Structure 1
Amino acid sequence: MNLRIQYTDETEKQNIINANSDKILIEEQNITEGNFLIFSDVKPIEEQVKQLQQDNLILMDAVATTFEEIIKLKTQLGGTP
C-alpha cells in the first residue's frame, strides 16, 4: 500500500520521513499541486530479489555443511563416503 503525504518545507519533510521510518520512501513529487512524499510498506522488487539471493546462499551453505557432516559420520561408521 502506498501513502502520499503533502509537505510545505524541509523541516516538515524531515519530520514526515522520521515519523514514517517503518515505511520505504519510494518517491518525492514536487509538482504544481504541491510537494509530496510517497511511502510504501512493500520493499522494491530489487530489494526483495537481493534478500532472496542472500537467503539462498545461506541455505546452500547449510546444505553443504550438512552433507559434509553426513560423509564424516558415514566414514566413522565404516561406510563408504
Structure 2
Amino acid sequence: MRYRYQYTDEASKQSLILEHADKNLVEQQNIQEGDFLVFADEPISTPPQPLEQEIADLKAQLALVQTALDDLILGGGL
C-alpha cells in the first residue's frame, strides 16, 4: 500500500521521513498542489538484469564449474 503525505518545509519533510522510517520512501512530488512524500510498505523491487549481463554471469559460472571438473578429472578425483 502507498501513503502520500504533504510537507511544507524541510523540517516537516525530515519529520515525515523519521516518522515513517518503517516504510520505503518511493517518490517525492513537487507539484502545483504542493509538496508530497510517497511511502510504501511493500519492498522496493529491483529492476531485472539485462539479458546480456545475465548471460555473462552464467558464462562466468560455467567456466568455474568447468575448471573444477577439470581439476577433479585430471587431478585424480578425491
Question: What TM bracket, shorter-length normalisation?
Answer: 0.5 to 0.7
How far does residue 33 in structure 1 lie from its aligned partner after superposition? 0.2
C-alpha distance after superposition, 1:21-71 (max 9, x if no partner): 000000000000000000000111119xxxxxxxxxxxxxxxxxxxxxxxx
CA RMSD of aligned residues (A): 1.5
Query: Unaligned regions of 5+ residues in structure 1, if any?
Result: 48-80
Q: Give the match for residue 29 of structure 1.
A: 29
How many residue pairs get aligned? The number is 48
Work out the percentage of aligned pairs sharing the same amino acid: 48
Runs of 4+ in 1 over 4 A off after TM superposition: none
Query: Unaligned regions of 5+ residues in structure 2, if any?
Result: 48-77
More helix by share: 1
* CA–CA distance in structure 2, aligned partners of residues 32 and 46 of structure 1: 30
Q: TM-score, normalised by structure 1?
A: 0.56
